Structure 1
Amino acid sequence: MNRPSEENSVRQEFAYDAAGSIATNVADGFTMVAVGDLIVTRPLTKGQDQGFGVLVKILRNADVTFGNMETNIFDVRTFKGSPQAEYGGAYHVSLPELGPDLKAMGFNLVSYANNHAFDWGLEGMRETSRVLDENGIVHAGVGENLAQAGAPRFLETTRGRVALVSFATSFTPMSRACDPAGGAPGRPGLNSLRLKRSTVIPAEMLKGLRRVRSALPDSIPNRDDLDAVVLAGVTYRSGAKAGYSYQPDPRDVRAILRNVRQGKQFGDFCIATNHGHEPGNWSQEPPDYEQSFAHRLIDAGADAYIGHGPHRLRGIEIYKRRPIFYSLGNFIMDDLRTPVGADMFDAYGRDPRSHTDAEVTVSEMSEGYRTDPGFSDPVFYDSIVTVSRFEKNQLTEIRLYPIDLGHSKRFANRGVPRLAPAPQANVILERLKAMSKPFGTHIAIEDDTGIIELPPSSS
């Protein structure tokens, strides 16, 4: 008598769809609202902006409403931690009132693995997690060790149990979590996907760099690599087009795929989400590794892949009838942070004895993060709210609502979203349409709204 293999026995415990992924298992009418970065420093629902109130109605009218939590939450007057020497480009912080306000907006699921999660150290991360927990906002991506940071977290809804696996490719070096090993304890931090970057240049340029390397006193004799040159710690490779190439760490890939699989096995719907700025905020195209990795995540059980980080929109792909959002840009960029930290005064040549926090923030937004352009370009203030609807466990429609974050407004009123007026909405959707076309995605535009429709599946 033949006994089924262990692998087949395991597979029999889960339902698989026609594409070979663990099947979605939500009630008809399940909707997911997904937006990008939440850079918010004050409660907004009690304000007088009626345009924002219209968006809140969209956020509340969904089973799961997701955003990337890129702000720490605590009262700086009683806070026991301190701003860190390593920070994500700015010290993001908001008052504790933000917790109930995010809940009032409709958010019930947020990612927290990003380059700002440890701006205020371990104490800031723990306090933010506490506030989110107190307000019933499920979050993932950080923890007391890597196992906790990488683990799926679950949101219970009336139409299904939603798992979230959050990771980041852009993070400060000291914020990466690790597990215990030998006699050493684990390290609190975030769930990371480490990337090895190579700079791609034409072959003739590579020859020149090889000569430079050979002339340096620390070059290794008789060591020649025809495909790559390592110079001053930077790897250069030859290619037809200059740019950057990324290789994900296989250990991190394995762990993330496992956690996505586990999230789907214990849930009905699984979201995988990544915070990454690669190749830079200047790029409207995702890095070269991301498409294949997003596909692998969906193959492992993810029902949606949501990218954020570069603060600008990138294209949308539908893979195996599941949405891939390569970047949803900003949803709120209400960046009235105070205090900004002494290191930021130094970074932008300001003196805390004569300059204000706001003047430092304006300098940072106009000059940019390190070598990336700042936020003076209106493109960073154009974004969308996505509403994905599922019927019979299949994605049937995605609605895209263009939003305007008020680039032309004065500093104190900038960054709060509202539905974009018709001319601007059309510009946003046409740009998104062009960026999504290489992925085979067709976006129709009706009444200033983008629509991606999928025909009923025969499976």
Structure 2
Amino acid sequence: MREHSELNNPVGNVDAYDKVGSLATNIADGFTLVAVGDLIVSRALTRYQHAGFDQLVRILHDADVTFGNMETSIFDIRRFDGSPQAEYGGAYHVSSPELGPDLKEMGFNILSYANNHTFDWGVEGMRETCRALEQNGIVYAGVGENQSQAGSARFLETPRGRVALVSFASTFTPMSRACDPAGEGPGRPGLNTLRLKEEIAVPLAMLDNLRAVRDALPNFNSVNSDPSPSRVTLAGVTFKTGEQVGYCYQANPSDVANILRNVRRGKQFADFCIATNHGHEPGNWCQQPPDYEQAFAHKLIDAGADAYIVHGPHQLRGIEIYKGKPILYSVGNFIMDDLRTPVGADMFEEHGRDPRIHTDAEVSVEEMAKQEETELGFSDPIFYESIIVVSRFEHNQLAELRLYPIDLGHSKRFANRGIPSLAAPEKAKSILARLKKLSRPFGTEIAIENNVGIIKR
């Protein structure tokens, strides 16, 4: 195990740190963690003969910890007391109650639940989903009746060690953010968030042009102008000087402090700690993480996390090994079986469809087409190519990552699309070649053996 001095101890006082407990990893040899991405699934899958799906289920079952991101709600729409929210995460994801036991049957035992779809169906949908997961013995994190609950680590007991999970989201609907009580004001149910301030970097000449546009607008009040000559706010967007055009992010210091404290606390009560974020920044079209995230990921590891797992962009991003700990900047999608019914009247209206004439599936196809016009949309095959990551630890150190390429069936008809299977050899090579390229800037080399990617410590 590592010495305390190697951990960049966030407690700040070594004596106090020793009394509270070590942040070192403390798992039995052979400990394995399986990580997959978004679970957008509306029905039970294990009871049917979906080609190749049983092979993946065996991989999930062979691990001590099997992790995914819960990006839907579970309830019986016929008995549901809530309603589709006016503010939703881009679509109304809903799954039948049979999904709860089916997730357990697949092998999942720990899930993140903080994301932009957590509140598609309001606090009632969140609570129903939590009950469904609890009834099936699946540990989840990232939501609660107030911020303290939503931000706290949740724990999974395994034969090789106790595992903590801290879940948060940098992409979320504003009304879904949890808060704590203050004075006589009660707390607010919701999810654990990492608020980001977004700015756009542009060369100086562009900034001068933007300032000229801003100053020429009617009713411009010079009192509200940006005090810095290196920034211009126009139509609610802040631009700043930079060498090239791009998105820049600053993480909210209070949110960062809370997340790091909860990671530290989680590790103090566990043998292994997972930190996980659901973030789409700077957009689903992008294959690189946002500019803030690498430094933030390192802080999470320094605070006690043994793995940092990101999901949200719906496609793969690179892998980094930092201080012997895996950082997965996006594990993409695992299931996109989005046969959502109903989708909610707001989605029909947004896409110019009439629920008396058109069907839910037609709205979904229209949504994909609209996204294709504005960015890399979900009709692109890249969103249906992903991986299963299996991390194995020996002597409390990462020994190996195995990357199994999967194919979610982009070419299949709508009713069968989105269910994963191991990718065919040529597609597997293509997926791994792309992941190798994306991981190289982080100093990570991926070997390929029998169409499986391998990263050795």
CA drift of 1:366 comes to 2.8
Q: Which of 302, 305, 324 is residue 302 of structure 1 equivalent to?
A: 305
Aligned residue for 1:144?
145
Residues 265 and 167 (structure 1), Cα distance of their counterparts in 2 relative to 1, 3 Å cut: same
Please, which moves more after superposition, 179-188 or 323-332?
179-188
Matched with 1:184 is 185
Q: Secondary structure at the match of 2:362?
A: helix
Superposed displacement of residue 213, structure 1 = 1.8
Which residue does 2:15 correspond to in 1?
9
1:361, distance to aligned residue in structure 2 (A): 1.1
1:429 and 2:432 equivalent? yes
Q: CA-to-partner distance for each residue in 1:263-304, whole Å, 9 max, x for gaps?
A: 000000000000000000000000000000000000000000
Residue number in structure 1 paired with 2:201: 200
From 226, 231, 251, the equivalent of 1:228 is 231
Quote how far apart the aligned CAs of 1:223 are. 5.9
- 1:358 corresponds to which residue? 361
Segment of structure 1 superposing worse, 288-297 or 224-233: 224-233
Aligned to 1:447: 450
Quote the Cα distance in structure 1 between the aligned partners of 2:65 and 2:340. Answer: 28
- Kindly tell me the number of residue pairs found equivalent between the two proteins: 445
Give the superposition deviation at 1:210: 1.1
SS across alignment from 1:364: helix
Matched to 2:15, the amino acid is: S
Match of 1:78 in 2: 79
Distance 2:178 2:298 in 1: 25
Q: Against the structure 1 CA distance between its residues 226 and 392, is the aligned structure 2 distance closer, same or farther, given a 3 Å change threshold? A: same
Q: CA deviation at 1:8?
A: 3.0
| Unmatched segments (≥5 aa) in structure 2 | 1-10
Aligned residue runs from structure 1 range 145-160, under 5 A: 145-160=146-161
Please name the residue that 2:263 is paired with. 260
Deviation at 1:198, TM superposition (A): 0.1
In the TM superposition, 1:29-428 aligns within 5 A as 29-216=30-217, 217-221=219-223, 224-368=227-371, 371-428=374-431
CA distance in 2, matches of 1:252, 1:369: 33
Q: Distance in 1 between matches of 2:24 and 2:373?
A: 43
Say which SS state the counterpart of residue 427 (structure 2) adopts. helix
Letter paired with 2:191: L
What per-residue deviation string (whole Å, max 9, x for no partner) do you get for residues 211-267 of structure 1?
122223223158642110111211001111111000000000000000000000000
Amino acid at match of 1:306: I
When residues 29 and 386 of structure 1 are mapped into structure 2, their CA distance, relative to the original with a 3 A threshold, is same
Contact 1:213–1:219, Cα closer than 8 Å, also in 2: no
Separation of aligned partners in 2, 1:121 and 1:372: 28
2:284 is paired with a residue whose SS is coil
Q: Is the 8 A contact 1:37 1:332 kept in 2?
A: yes
Say whether the 8 Å CA contact 2:21–2:268 is kept in structure 1: no
Q: Deviations over 1:108-161 (max 9, x none)?
A: 000000000000000000000000000000000000000000000000000000
Q: How far is 1:6 from its partner?
A: 9.4
**TM-score normalized by structure 2?**
0.95
Shift of 1:15: 6.2
Q: Cα 1:223–1:301, aligned 2, differ >3 Å: closer, same or farther?
A: closer
Counterparts of 2:66 and 2:19, CA distance in 1: 29
Would the alpha carbon gap of residues 272 and 223 (structure 1) be closer, same or farther in structure 2, given more than 3 Å must change? closer
Contact 2:39/2:336 (8 A) holds in 1: yes
Specify the SS of the correspondent of 1:82: coil
Return the offset for 1:12: 1.6
Instruction: Name the Cα RMSD after superposition.
Output: 1.4
Q: Is the 8 A contact 2:226 2:233 kept in 1?
A: no
Q: Secondary structure at the match of 2:201?
A: strand
Q: Is the 8 A contact 1:89 1:369 kept in 2?
A: no
Q: Distance in 1 between matches of 2:222 and 2:253?
A: 28
**In 2, Cα distance between equivalents of 1:413 and 1:230:** 46
2: CA distance, partners of 1:346 / 1:369: 19
Is this contact kept in 1: 2:372–2:379, CA < 8 A? no
How far is 1:359 from its partner? 0.7
Matched-pair identity in % = 69
| TM-score, reference length from structure 1 | 0.95
CA distance in 2, matches of 1:203, 1:7: 45
Shift, 1:370, TM fit = 9.4
CA–CA separation in structure 1 for the residues paired with 2:412 and 2:322:
38
